[in-house]
Amino acid sequence: MRRKIIVAAGVLVFVPFLAILVYGYAYEPLKYHYLVRRVELAHTAAEERAAFTLAADWGRVWEVERLQASDMVVRGRKLSGDWLLRLEWLPSSPYGGGAYTAYRRVIDTNNVLILWDKKY
């Protein structure tokens, strides 16, 4: 009987600890990498709108910053256009230490309103 109590107590301590580790080191990084890819790889205005809506609904967009036109090199790539956008989500990556960030050239400036409406 004593052994069953010890095993049950061990499981009650271990399962929540394991759940926290899986959430922090597997689920959240996968979720934010997916959001970053959706935002950065949108090719049409409709895809961009869907990506911005998903990014605002599924993740907490912490900062929306319009980059200057002179900022051509962003994260090792060249982006050009009148509207260059940097999105940053609140949680930081447990692997890289920095916040999850996406960069993109905005196709339709009306889509940016989705992020502003959800942010504030």
Contacts of 101 (CB under 8 A, 6+ apart): 36, 75, 86, 87, 88, 89
> Within a 10 A sphere around the Cβ of 48, how many other Cβ atoms?
24
Contacts of 33 (CB under 8 A, 6+ apart): 100
Q: Check pLDDT > 60 for residue 120.
A: no
Q: Check pLDDT > 80 for residue 25.
A: yes
Q: Worst-scoring range by mean pLDDT, 5-9, 19-23, 68-72, 105-109?
A: 68-72
Residue 119's pLDDT is 58
Residue 16's pLDDT is 93
pLDDT tens string 33-77: 999 999 999 999 999 999 999 998 887 788 888 887 666 665 666
Kindly state the tokens that stand for 120: 């504030």
